[in-house]
Amino acid sequence: MARRGTTTTIADVARHAGVSPATVSRVMNDRFVGEPSVADRVRRSATELGYSPSPLARSLALGETHTVALLVPDIRNPAFQAILGGLTRAAARDGYRVLVADSAETPDDEPVLATELRRRCDSVVLCAPRMPEETLVELAATLGPVVLINRPSPSVSAPSLSIDYGAGITELAQHLYDQGHRTFVYLGGPERSVSNERRRRALDEFEATMPDVILHRISCGADTEDGRRVATLVRESGATAAIAFNDLVAIGLVDGLAAEGVRVPEHLSVTGFDDIPFARYTSPPLTTASVPYEELGMQAWQRLHALGRDEAPGDDVLLQPRVAIRGSTAAPGRRAGIGSGAAAETVGSS
């Protein structure tokens, strides 16, 4: 904030133009209906004094801030950054700004963080994968306009936008199965994460459906480092294919395996999840499920914008990942053909 008395206020303009603050306000907001000459005079005074209304004061008076909050567990996660990108761009088109906050992977802080953010903003995009359901229900009720990312729930009043992780992971497993794999290992994400739960359920079902499939499970994490850490465990598991919680884990795993002399996909196939921008450029390019996170961010804004104008926000949406077959998967025990480079890619729909 500028030093007190430095900024020109609406009163200054009013005085300069010889009118009342009310009139200045009306002119600035195109709500003025009187003599055009008066409006002109006000406008001239405004530009002459370099006046622009204080957004803060307007927010207080109007009860709206033209700001939307985004709360995520870790802002450095590329998936959240993609959401942020989509949200920022979409909101900007309607003259809204985005306030970001990061709970530093501490679900306990999220309710108070969210409420605090909410008071600065008109609405909030909440991404709280590890928040307990009951806390979420309570929070969503008090929060007002909010959209939930990846937390579809009939008991919550807010619209939610989610990724069909189950469908994506099933399709990945099926792809591996079709290539001849029978022994899998799943590298689980954060323990209490909803999206991890979705993936696990889908894999449980896959295992139950396919009698000849063996599925090992390793509790891992969501970061590159987590993937690297479990490389040895994966190697020793006897699996021919590893299904990683996400791309970061997969990338870390591939790297960790390389350090142990295990080649991907020659010795072991690996799949990721998310299709972060660089998944296609990794070594080898990563077979993964492509998730439209930027789209998610844009749709989130669309819902909130509707909600803010008391329109119907639209139904909950379950966005379908698209599996992208790249170089990190191959038939077990078979060497990958020479020339299977970054350019080759198949995209399947689900």
Partner DNA sequence: TACGCTCGTGAAAGCGGTTTCTCGCGCTGT
Partner DNA sequence: ACAGCGCGAGAAACCGCTTTCACGAGCGTA
The contact pattern for DNA, residues 53-92, with x = CB under 7 A and - = no contact, is: xx-xxx-xxxx-----------------------------
* CA nearest to 188, candidates 213, 208, 226, 217: 217
In the complex, minimum distance from the CB of residue 59 to a second copy, in angstroms, rounded to a whole number = 5
Q: Is 209 helix (H, G, I), strand (E, B) or coil?
A: helix
Q: Does 28 bind DNA (CB under 7 A)?
A: yes
92 binds, among DNA, a second copy, none (CB under 5 to 8 A by kind): a second copy
DSSP secondary structure letters along 46-90: HHHHT----HHHHHHHHT--SEEEEEES-TTSHHHHHHHHHHHHH
Task: Give the shortest CB-310-to-DNA separation in angstroms.
Answer: 16
Q: Kindly tell me which of 170 and 271 has the beta carbon lying closer to a second copy.
A: 271
Residue 229, token pair as written in the block: 């850490």
How far, rounded to the nearest angstrom, does the alpha carbon of residue 189 sit from its chain's CA centroid?
16
Q: Is 287 in the site for a second copy (CB under 8 A)?
A: no
Region near DNA per CB under 7 A, out of 19-27, 66-74, 293-301, 336-344? 19-27
> What is the side-by-side strand order in the sheet with 183-188?
214-219, 183-188, 241-244, 269-271
What is the distance between the alpha carbons of residues 125 and 74, in angstroms, rounded to a whole number? Answer: 14
Lookup result for tokens 């479990």: 230
Using the minimum distance from each CB to DNA, give the nearer residue, 63 or 261: 63
Q: What residue ranges bind a second copy (CB under 8 A)?
A: 1-2, 4, 52, 54-57, 59-60, 63-65, 67, 75-76, 78, 81-82, 84-85, 88-89, 92, 97-102, 104, 115-117, 119-120, 122, 144, 224, 251, 254-255, 258-259, 276-278, 280-285, 294, 341-343
